[in-house]
Amino acid sequence: MTTIKGVLFDFSGTLLHIEPAESWLRAALTASGTAMDEAELARRAAALERAGALPGGAPPVEIPAALAGQWEIRDRDARLHRAVYTGLARQVPLPAPELYDALYERHKTAEAWRPYPDAAEVLAELHRRGIRIGVLSNIGWDLRPVLRAHGLDRHVDTCVLSCEHGLQKPDPQLFALACRELGLAPSDVLMVGDDRTADGGATAVGCAFLPVEHLPADGRPDGLRPVLDLVG
């Protein structure tokens, strides 16, 4: 049996979870100085969620034809990522045009993300054992400040972000690149993620794969701890 020497973690839905749509919209309203009563806020937040406008949240119930092709490759480029998600949000009428950009900016803040309860403990223990640690994410912006704000960066050796390489999971090239960043052969690396298609693509280059459930942070208190058994 191969000894695991490195672990790659997905970001959204694996190490951290995005805030609910209502608090996301409320924060954007506050940032833009726009008033909205609570009942209307709840309705608009639900509509934004159905539209799939919150990155890291639920996917769109229906993707507009004009965005369909871009949706599939949204994580390869930062400008495209912003255009797709603000485009989805614009399907929902909001009282001020600046709210669409405010919503996008909000989701990139540390306050919009909640670490899973066992994330810090698992990363610290892996680091203590001498395991190389990376974050490999399909994302359109730099997540490093969010990791730093939550104290998770101290144990992470490298971050490989799709938008910085023009590749997105499950492209084998991105997994191979991440393994090189760890300085390890793929056969020595475990990929941990909540998407069996995107993250599970790691097996194509020879990595092991451990799926976790995509649940709110308080609904998955110890989903990452099985990693410690696999690298023990």
The chain-wide mean pLDDT, for the chain, equals 96
Say whether pLDDT at 232 is over 80: no
pLDDT digits (tens, 9 = 90+) for 49-87: 999 999 999 999 999 999 999 999 999 999 999 999 999
Say whether pLDDT at 162 is over 90: yes
Say whether pLDDT at 2 is over 90: no
Would residue 23 count as lying in a domain? yes
Mean pLDDT of 144-173: 98
pLDDT of residue 17: 98
pLDDT of residue 62: 95
The rounded distance, in Å, linking the Cα atoms of 101 and 36 is 17
pLDDT of residue 71: 96
pLDDT of residue 140: 98
Would residue 219 count as lying in a domain? yes
- Show the domain range for 226: 6-17+113-230
- Which is nearest to 13 in space by CA: 217, 210, 159? 217
What residues does 158 pair with on adjacent strands?
134
Helix (H, G, I), strand (E, B) or coil at 6: strand
Note whether 11 and 30 are same-domain residues.
Answer: no
- Alpha carbon distance, N-terminus to C-terminus of the chain: 12
Would residue 68 count as lying in a domain? yes
Task: Using the 3D structure, point to which of 112, 147, 182 is the last residue of a domain.
Answer: 112
* Residue 21 φ/ψ, nearest 5 degrees: -60, -35
Q: Please, is 179 exposed, middle or buried when counting C-beta atoms within 10 Å of its C-beta (0-12, 13-18, 19+)? A: buried
Would residue 33 count as lying in a domain? yes
| Planar angle of CA 57, 167, 194, nearest 5 degrees | 35
The rounded distance, in Å, linking the Cα atoms of 199 and 136 is 9
pLDDT digits (tens, 9 = 90+) for 189-230: 999 999 999 999 999 999 999 999 999 999 999 999 999 999
pLDDT digits (tens, 9 = 90+) for 80-115: 999 999 999 999 999 999 999 999 999 999 999 999
Note whether 172 and 123 are same-domain residues.
Answer: yes
As for how many domains the chain has, the answer is 2
Would residue 141 count as lying in a domain? yes
pLDDT of residue 157: 98
At which residue do the structure tokens 């280059």 appear? Answer: 205
Note whether 130 and 221 are same-domain residues.
Answer: yes
Note whether 36 and 142 are same-domain residues.
Answer: no
Note whether 120 and 177 are same-domain residues.
Answer: yes
The rounded distance, in Å, linking the Cα atoms of 45 and 25 is 6
Note whether 102 and 147 are same-domain residues.
Answer: no
Q: What number of residues does the chain have?
A: 232
The pLDDT confidence band at residue 6, using thresholds 50, 70 and 90, is: very high
The rounded distance, in Å, linking the Cα atoms of 116 and 119 is 5
The rounded distance, in Å, linking the Cα atoms of 180 and 160 is 11
The rounded distance, in Å, linking the Cα atoms of 174 and 112 is 27
Note whether 25 and 106 are same-domain residues.
Answer: yes
Note whether 86 and 50 are same-domain residues.
Answer: yes
Note whether 108 and 118 are same-domain residues.
Answer: no
Would residue 1 count as lying in a domain? no
Would residue 176 count as lying in a domain? yes
The rounded distance, in Å, linking the Cα atoms of 146 and 109 is 7
Note whether 30 and 77 are same-domain residues.
Answer: yes
Note whether 200 and 217 are same-domain residues.
Answer: yes
Task: Using the 3D structure, point to which of 95, 112, 129 is the last residue of a domain.
Answer: 112
In the chain, % of residues over pLDDT 90 = 98
Say whether pLDDT at 1 is over 60: no
Whole-model pTM: value is: 0.95
Q: Label residues 122-161 b or e (16+ Cβ within 10 Å = b).
A: bbebbeeeebbbbbbbbbbbebeebbeebebbebbebbbb
Task: Using the 3D structure, point to which of 52, 77, 112 is the last residue of a domain.
Answer: 112
pLDDT of residue 155: 96
Note whether 90 and 11 are same-domain residues.
Answer: no
Mean pLDDT of 164-191: 98
Mean pLDDT of 132-139: 98
pLDDT of residue 15: 98
